[in-house]
Amino acid sequence: MVIEGFTYHRVPVGDGVSLSAAVAGEGSPIVLLHGFPQTHLMWRHVAPELVAAGHTVICPDLRGYGASDKPAETGPDTYAKRTMAADIIALARALAHERFALAGHDRGALVAFRAALDHPAAITHLACLDVLPTLDMWEALHGAAAAVGFHLYLMAQPPGLPERLIAADPDAFFGHFLDAWTGDPQAIPSDVRAAYLEACRDAIPSIVADYRASAGIDIEHDQADQDAGNRLRMPVTVLQQDWGAALGYDAAALWRAWAPDVRHGTVGFGHFMAEEAPAGIVKALRELLER
């Protein structure tokens, strides 16, 4: 499946890795990063609206997902968010964009967060959808309510076991999240759901490696930035479900500690908000880009 009206490119980003990216439009650039267990198709409603609003829109599949390369995990750096963020910087530069806005959902938001910390001169605006920074996420999970994040603990295990367990029935595993996290089941129609599941079946080792990095090296990188007092200096928008009510944390306060210029909003729709409420996401992104 493709996003209608977009041209697809295969772009080398270094170390023998190439990303697949859908590109359309003219004007100030914005890069949209997908989450788990999805591909760039999650932006199929939002991206054309941003093109119509006068932006160049770039929707890649992240390293390890979709049609992008899936290098074998040779160490913690292979799927560190720092490495995945560097991919996005290289992608944008290859498409002639030294500075660009960046929006991410779920895993893509963690990559966007890291890109904004590591490459502040390149990121003009940042939007993060339904996620906490990695360091805060692990600290927020506790007690029985943390069972909602069981997959985080499973995929944090050393190589071998999580991959074998997921491979035993990948459609049941990945499909669980598409079903359980969707407020409106009609938001992910059967053909899109099938495309997501097919993409995940082909990417089990790399998806697990992405999550494994978030239980190790990504924490180290976040902690180093927190200790050094590094902050997000660009305008930031964060939209989240109200997980704090169940897990007992103040999401807005956690984000304010990282971003002096943040606008935080709690939404009433499901996790897959770009598919469930695309008009609201387009509105939030356009307002961010005007700041």
State pLDDT tens for residues 91-144.
Answer: 999 999 999 999 999 999 999 999 999 999 999 999 999 999 999 999 999 888
185-214 residue pLDDT tens: 899 999 999 999 999 999 999 999 999 999
Residue 67 lies in a domain: yes
As a whole number of Å, the CA-based R_g of the chain is: 17
CB 151 within 8 A of CB 212: no
Domain of 240 in residue numbering reads as 7-289
63-102 residue pLDDT tens: 999 999 999 999 999 999 999 999 999 999 999 999 999 9
Phi first, then psi, for residue 32 (nearest 5°) are: -115, 120
Residue 205 lies in a domain: yes
Residue 2 lies in a domain: no
Residue 84 lies in a domain: yes
Residue 23 lies in a domain: yes
pLDDT at res. 202: 94
Out of 40, 55, 264, 271, the active site residue is 271
Residue 194 lies in a domain: yes
Number of domains, the chain: 1
Band of the pLDDT at 234, cuts 50, 70, 90?
A: very high
Give residue 67's identity as a one-letter amino acid code.
Answer: A
- Choice among 86-95, 138-147, 222-231, 271-280 with the minimum mean pLDDT: 138-147
| CATH label of the domain that carries residue 187 | 3.40.50.1820
Instruction: Kindly write down the DSSP assignment for every residue of 97-149, as one continuous string.
Output: -SSEEEEEETHHHHHHHHHHHH-TTTEEEEEEES---HHHHHHH--SGGGGGG
Residue 169 has pLDDT above 80, yes or no: yes
Q: How far is CA 22 from CA 129, 194, 225, 257, in A?
A: 20, 20, 32, 34
Residue 1 lies in a domain: no
Note the pTM of the prediction, 2 decimals. Answer: 0.98
Query: Distance between CA 161 and CA 146 in Å, rounded?
Result: 21
Residue 180 lies in a domain: yes
Task: Please indicate whether residue 271 is annotated as part of the active site.
Answer: yes
Beta bridge partners of 9: 21
Cis peptide before 29 (omega within 30 of 0): no
Out of 69, 106, 130, 222, the active site residue is 106
Query: Distance between CA 240 and CA 130 in Å, rounded?
Result: 4
CB 281 within 8 A of CB 162: no
